[in-house]
Every structure is written in structure tokens, then in C-alpha cells.
Amino acid sequence: MKNFSMTKFVIALLLVAFAVGMFAPTAQAAGKKGNTIVDIALAANAQTGEFSILIAALQAADPAVIRTLSGRGQFTVFAPTDAAFGDLLAELGVTADQLLSDQKLLTRVLLYHVAFGRRDSAQVLASDRIRTLNGGFLYQSGGVLTDANGRTANIIAVDIKAGNGIIHVIDRVVLP
């Protein structure tokens, strides 16, 4: 009789383990609400090659930046193209390697391109100023962002949706 109870116990345990295994991927998938901002940026770069410097900058910055943009919070990202980074490099007279080697500066600059909350283009256009994750502000007027130095960037593509936010593409790197 003791053997029979032990057999029933083992079978019940196996059934529970099987059931948990069957539903675990579904629960995990349900917890993730689509691709993150980082996933979308990587996919866009794979398709167009337009964001390779931005991807390199994300990888060279403080790892907290990628963790933030891959996390659960909702963010709005103003993503500069490679052409925008190329213009910045020429303007500053530095190489991409020189720019990417300054982790602290990269982190400040990248966080200046990110705002709390999921702001679609209508919300961005309705805002005069947008607080960024680095604590500064971007000023917006008619789809043009102005940074703390008076530099302007045009919003050239809007409302690229991610599970944890939204991306708008800009044609110039803004600086804190």
C-alpha cells in the first residue's frame, strides 16, 4: 500500500511539473508587451543601417542606459541617425572612437535623448518643453527640438512603437 501511495505521489508531481512547463512560456510571453526600445533600434539598424553609431553609443555608455531602455518603464526616445552622429563628429572634430571612449559623456548625451513616459507625436507636438532623463529640458516647437545650447534637431520620423515606449527619429544629436 505504501508503494502505491508513493507511486501516486510521483505521478502527481510529474503532472504538476509538466503543467508548469507547458504554461511557463505563455506566462513569460504575456509578461512581455512586445519588443523593447533596444529591440526596435537593433531591428531598425539591421534593416536600414541608419543607427549603427547610436547602437555603438548605447553599448559604450553606462550599462544602466540599456537596462533602462530594455526595462518595464515607459519612455520616449529621440533617436539620432548615423548622419546626425556624423555631423556631430565633424562639428566636434573627433572620431567615432574618441566619442565612444568617453562613457560618462555618452551616458549624459544619450539620457538627454530620452524622456519619461510614452509620448506619441501629438503629445510631443503639444509640449513646449520636455524633461529628459538626465534632468535637462528639450524645447519643442513645430516638430523642431532645441537643446540647452540652442542647437536644433528636426523630428523626421514619428511614432515607432515599442513595448516599453515610443521612438521618434531626429536628424541631429542634441547636447545637454
CATH 1.10.10.10 describes domain 37-170: no
Cα(163)–Cα(130) distance, rounded to whole angstroms? 21
25: how many CB neighbours lie within 10 A of its CB? 9
What local confidence, expressed as pLDDT, does residue 33 receive? 63
43 against 14, higher pLDDT: 43
Q: How far are the Cα atoms of 58, 96, 104, 163 from residue 99, in angstroms, in the given order?
A: 12, 5, 10, 30
Q: What is the pLDDT of residues 75-123, one digit of tens each?
A: 999 999 999 999 999 999 999 999 999 999 999 999 999 999 999 999 9
Q: What is the pLDDT of residue 25?
A: 35
Q: Where in the chain are the domains?
A: 1-31, 37-170
46 has a pLDDT exceeding 90 = yes
pLDDT tens, residue by residue, 34-45: 899 999 999 999
Query: Exposed, middle or buried, 40 (CB in 10 Å: 0-12/13-18/19+)?
Result: buried
The answer to whether 41 touches 167, Cβ cutoff 8 Å, is yes
